[in-house]
Chains A and B, each alone.
Chain A
Amino acid sequence: MENKAHDTAPGGRDFARRLIADMLRIRRMEEKCAELYGAGKIRGFLHLYIGEEACAVGALHALKEEDNIVATYREHGHALVRGVPMASIMAEMYGKASGCCRGRGGSMHLFDAARRFYGGNAIVGGGLPLAVGLALADKMQGRSRVSACFFGDGAVAEGAFHEAMNLAALWQLPVLFLCENNFYGMGTALARAEAQTDLTAKAASYRMAAAKADGMDVLAVHAATERAAARVRAGKGPLFLELQTYRFRAHSMFDPELYRDQAEVEEWKERDPLHVFPARLQAQGVLDEDEIAALDAVAEAEVAAAVEFAEAAPWEPVADLFKDVHTPEGEP
């Protein structure tokens, strides 16, 4: 199931606009996050997704509202595209009570129960068994949801990856494993970490269907995810989809990037989904420059409003420190 780059927007002009709009929303939000980190407004670890936006946007637009989403600590974009309001994400990064997790989680732990967004997992590989369990619950209760689990290439070295892949395949569970292969687990290149760098070969060892898509091409990601999700939803078992992509920024804000050449980064930047896709649409006459600039302005305005919201948001009272360690009596 190898995918070729798509030359046209199959969903038409509005669909293309939505994809660009969401990629811009992630990019502008995260650029602002980096700035706010420098200003000391956001603390802790901050892992930016810049460069990889086509993966979350393409994949999540191909999934349904009823599906379960499990993500990693590099999940701002996934949360946003899933529908978590930017203001709520921003307030969470500020550590405010109006954040989606009331300031308990921060950048790495965004959750949203109503949108079936199960985090926000900062233990590499930790989300995979959860996705297996969510899918098991769906299968046992006769629901046809897909549990989509995002993780990076670093996770394939973890035992949790192999245990989860095997369980999902053994029990034929509706899990869509979405591997965002950005070729580095923190500072360790894939080839320095894996004896087998063709990640789909790992799925084959669990007799699991696998596919690859160009993670820099939002339409390719969308098409591949749509096909994969349809198959998983039809009860044909789990599927492993590798999205090859690249992180333009450092691993986290503490990373001096000693492990890769700037030339390599620049080479990948030429494939920036936020340049390539809009340029293609312009060349095809689907969208013009002004329309794209207008989408960018909307994203910038949303970011400004989110920051304003986060700045003004209240702090959780220290008296509530122990809240939600346990479920209060009377709650389900």
Chain B
Amino acid sequence: MKISYREAIRQALREALLGDARVFLMGEDVGRYGGTYAVSKGLLAEFGPERIRDTPLSELGFVGAGIGAALGGMRPIVEVMTVNFSLLALDQIVNSASLLRHMSGGQFSVPLVVRMATGAGRQLAAQHSHSLENWYAHIPGIRVLAPATVTDARGMLAPALADPDPVIIFEHAQLYNLEGELPDDWRCDISHAAVRRVGTQLSLITWGGSLPKALQAAAELAAAGIEVEVIDLRVLRPLDAETVYASVRKTHRALVVDEGWKSGSLAAEVVARIAEDCLYELDAPPRRLCTAEVPIPYARHLEEAALPQADRIVAAVREMLDV
């Protein structure tokens, strides 16, 4: 069955709400408005305002309330409209959710799921175009997910809710309209990276909104006889380095595509790990293709120039392979 990424998330939310009375969805405009990205459309009518709970514009307050509700025995799903606004809730995520278990000597777990849209590409300018997954992937105590396929959009929520610790799910705003085939068995884990395309000459490592671009680049390269392997990290913390290493041991070349800025990026982390653990497997220096280090501009041609694009991935691969 072909469905959209948006519909896949809605189905996952609906299943969670039907299956567990402790689950509720809370966030800005999740109810009457139907969700900023229309993900929760229709859920208010089915589940009512207690469980599809509209909040005021108080990111710090309602994320903290989500933590408290999780401590109180509920299974909250908190939607922070976008990663840009999550900065207003950063204190509660970093200073409470991620620390409570350890700081209390193991007395309190925080079974909280926070969902947020991320990424650029829609001419929304600098304040609405951040990709800050790496900030969250830096923090011990939380799990960070980046569904990039319809299957992951459908399947990641259930194990995230089953996780007794906080989980943050990044939904790339460019993916909501993505259509894909949902297999009969869409259940998935939240521990492993996935090989999305098998290849032999280079490992193209990415996640989230950059995955379709990487797959497009790989298809173009294949047409020219160049076979690259595409790895979707899926889980940004804890990183599944083994899947990356297995690919690098096969291809001996690695290119990481990251919509974040290069300095201090998640791409830097992946490349550092490859260098630490697989250096002698490499036939060429590992490389990163990231967003230009500028605030994301509004004008379409400038925004496109700032972000990693399929044609630039193709060019980077050709340069690394010298073909």
Residues of A close to B74: CB separation below 8 A? 136-137, 140-141
Find B101's partner among A68, A123, A327, A332 (CB 8 Å cutoff): A327
Chain A proximity mask over B102-118: 1 for CB below 8 Å, otherwise 0: 11111111000000000
Q: B58 to A166, Cβ gap below 8 A?
A: yes
Q: Is the CB of B68 within 8 A of A167?
A: no
Does A202 interact with chain B (Cβ within 8 Å)?
no
- Is the CB–CB distance between A133 and B68 below 8 Å? yes
Is there a chain A Cβ closer than 8 Å to B264's Cβ? no
Nearest B residue to A316, CB-CB: B105
Question: Is A126 touching B109 in the complex (CB atoms < 8 A)?
Answer: no
**Residue A292, interface by CB 8 Å:** no
Interface presence of A264 (CB below 8 A): no
Interface string of A156-167 (1 = CB under 8 A from B): 000110011011
Q: Could you tell me if A129 and B95 are in contact, using CB atoms closer than 8 angstroms?
A: no
User: Are A132 and B64 in contact, CB atoms less than 8 angstroms apart?
Assistant: yes
Across the interface, do A137 and B68 meet the contact criterion of CB distance under 8 Å? yes
Chain A CB within 10 Å, residue with most, of B58, B66, B76, B101: B58
The proximity string for A residues 115-131 relative to B, scoring 1 for CB distances below 8 Å and 0 otherwise, is 00011110100101111
User: Quick check: B96 and A130 within 8 Å, CB to CB?
Assistant: yes
Which residues from B are CB-within-8-Å of A118?
A: 68, 71, 108
What is the CA–CA distance of A159 and B68 in the complex, to the nearest angstrom? 17
Q: How far is the CA of A102 from the CA of B107 in the complex (A)?
A: 10
- Pairwise interchain contact B106-A126, C-beta atoms closer than 8 A: no
For chain A, give the interface size range.
35 or more
Task: Give complex CA distance A189, B293 in Å.
Answer: 43
A324 interface residue per 8 A CB criterion: yes
Q: Complex: how many Å from CA A130 to CA B112?
A: 12
Determine the distance from Cα of A323 to Cα of B107 in the docked complex, in whole angstroms.
Answer: 12
Query: Which residue from A113, A137, A160, A332 sits with its C-beta under 8 Å from B64?
Result: A160
Q: Decide yes or no whether B91 CB sits under 8 A from chain A.
A: yes
Asked if A271 is an interface residue, CB under 8 A from chain B, the answer is no
Interchain residue pairs with CB less than 8 A apart (27): A101-B107, A104-B102, A109-B104, A111-B105, A111-B107, A126-B92, A126-B96, A129-B61, A129-B64, A133-B65, A133-B68, A136-B65, A136-B72, A138-B72, A140-B69, A159-B60, A160-B64, A160-B91, A163-B60, A164-B65, A324-B102, A324-B105, A326-B101, A327-B109, A327-B164, A331-B164, A332-B109
8 closest cross-chain pairs (CB), A and B: A133-B68, A129-B64, A137-B72, A163-B61, A102-B105, A101-B105, A111-B104, A324-B106
